[in-house]
Chain A
Amino acid sequence: MLSFVPRPVIRVAAVALLVYAFLLPNLVQPYTIRVAATILVFTVFATGLNLILGFTGLLSFGHAAMFGAGAYISARLMLDTGMPLALVILVAVGGSAVFGLLVGLTSWRVGGDYLALITLGVGQIFYLYLNNANEVTGGATGLPGIPAGTFFGWDLSSIENVYLFILVATLVATGFAWLIGRSFLGRSFLAIREDEVIARAHGINVPLTKVVVFGIGSGIAGLAGVLQVLLLGFVGPATFTVDQSILVVEIVLIGGMATTFGPLLGSVLVIGSTEYLRSLADYRSMIFGALIVLILLWKPGGLVQILGIGDTRAGRFRSPFSLFRRTGSRPAAVEPVAEPPAPRAVPEEVRS
């Protein structure tokens, strides 16, 4: 759509947007800052899932659990210990990465739709745990009153500063995912998505790579969880339901699988519209559902591909969203079979 715009113009626009993003706290109402911060939190969350779903083609419908793990670990640490925020982030990200690694182990035995069911189950179990383990998680009421932190002397008690902190974290997470995406690791993710047999036959350690991508993707989601805690000063189980997992899948699909800025664009559209188009809330699922079907059919690179503003390695309809794909070997291409020679017509007079 924007392909007629010269590249430099897009670059300048991107830089201008970035500057605007940094100046935002001085320009708009606190409510808008809050919405923008929420969008960024979901960008980070979706960036984690994008590595798993978009790059590696593994269906994870329980990603809210990793998000929640990061949030609850950091909330507990901030409430109970005087740990510096940097350390809290490290522990929370590490904790959710380990959680992700464990869930990722299931991908050794199952793939495709079954993996989707298992992750869905993990998400649901985790939600029930949050809701019922009163001593640890505060049960249905959650953990209120989490103190605002300071990050190396940077006071995060005002919404403006929290927003800026989240913005920086988003840039770090996006940059990290970008580096991974263009490295050999990213390419091995893509190879697994496209064809596991090929990946194996060319020396890629498929099981290890799958677990690694789950770990990295979950770690990034855990970071999003910490940011969420900083933003809200509260955690409750309602933020980590299976609905939330589905929402982030929506963001990845709409934004564009296996793209760098897909999570951001998807998040702007999905979260932004939820906030600003509340009158259309009843139709939201319908509109996004239709949009996802259209995207999967024609533009697997999502908004990034539709707008034409970046590389897309989203794959074709068959491969990226393996709900519609058999796991294992691909059906053999139909080889042309020589027609048997037609019986020669026997002239009338000979027959008689």
Chain B
Amino acid sequence: MTALLPEAPIFKATGVGCRFGGVIALDSVDFQVGPDEIVGLIGPNGSGKTTLLNVLSGIYRASSGSLEIDGKPSRFKSSRRLSRDHGLARTFQNIRLCPSLTVRDNVLIGMHSGFRWYDALWTGGRGSRERRSVERVEEILEFVGIADKRDEIATDLAYGDQRRVEIARALATNPRLLLLDEPAAGMNPREARVLVDLIKRIHDEREIAIVVIEHNMNVVMNTASRVMVLDAGLCIAHGDPKTVSSDPHVLEAYLGKRFRDA
């Protein structure tokens, strides 16, 4: 199992726990992502997957354990600094787009880290950096395949397209590590296949490490090079997709004791 772990992880979490009052959402989890990996994160509902992602991306504070990004402690870093300084981007389980803005504006929001607030005072939206950003947004929209919908209001799009806008917005931050929280939720099998391709292309062409939470096993098995299974805030299995999917603990967590040895 240890042989699978990356040599020089971008992100390293050791014994991370997160509790809300008496609820232990994460008990103690070790987690690492290397620069050229796609890590799948699976587990039953309520097992702590999204909490782990929220802790990694600085939206929740870990109650215990240590977090390192690029070898520096990151437990108390804000999500803004993780995004701006360390290239960490994410999407959300329940699509969170800015509902009244166009697709292009939504993606442009991902490019804010390069701007200082006073830039606008003398360039008024016409500065060379802004123009370059708009060009880059075009390229990203092209890449995820929604360039023709750039001027539509984001929430008017179909569900699968909204997911892609979210991914585009995350890509706009120029990340090195992308956290995807159930990107295939609500997609039909065809859309899910397109998504698998997109995830692979993001990884291969843009050289971005990816952590993907997913219930759709097709997506996980076809993308992840390494899978980690959480249950009740603990890691119960870890390894390559094949091994994990036949692990008795995993079967038990998903299907109940009865199926464990079936």
Contact = CB atoms under 8 A, between A and B. Distances in A.
Contacts of A186: 120, 125
A188 B79 contact: no
B178 to A, nearest CB: 12
Nearest to B182: A335
Chain A interface size, as a band, is 35 or more
B100 interface: yes
Contacts of A180: 120-121, 124
B32 interface: no
Contacts of A194: 98-101
B100 A204 contact: no
A190 B124 CA distance: 16
Main secondary structure of the interface of A (DSSP, over half): helix
A315 interface: yes
Interface string B112-136: 1101010111011101001001000
A205 B80 contact: yes
Chain B interface size, as a band, is 35 or more
Given A179-B120, A183-B130, A185-B120, A195 B96 contact: yes
A202 B90 CA distance: 9
B215 to A, nearest CB: 10
B98 A190 contact: yes
Given A182-B124, A194-B99, A208 B59 contact: no
A183 B120 contact: yes
With a 10 A CB-CB cut-off, give which of A190, A198, A314, A316 has the most chain B CB atoms: A198
B161 to A, nearest CB: 17
A333 interface: yes
Nearest to B90: A201
B169 interface: yes
B79 A179 contact: no
A212 B121 CA distance: 11
A214 B169 CA distance: 27
Contact of A197 (B96, B99, B127): B96
Interface stretch (B2-10, B68-76, B103-111, B245-253): B103-111
Contacts of B119: 183-185
A191 interface: yes
A319 B96 CA distance: 13
Contacts of B127: 183
Contacts of B109: 187-188, 191, 198-199, 202, 204
Interface of A: 179-180, 182-188, 190-191, 194-195, 197-206, 208-209, 212, 313-316, 318-319, 330, 332-333, 335
13 contacts: A184-B111, A184-B119, A190-B100, A194-B101, A199-B109, A202-B112, A202-B169, A203-B110, A205-B80, A205-B117, A206-B80, A313-B101, A316-B99
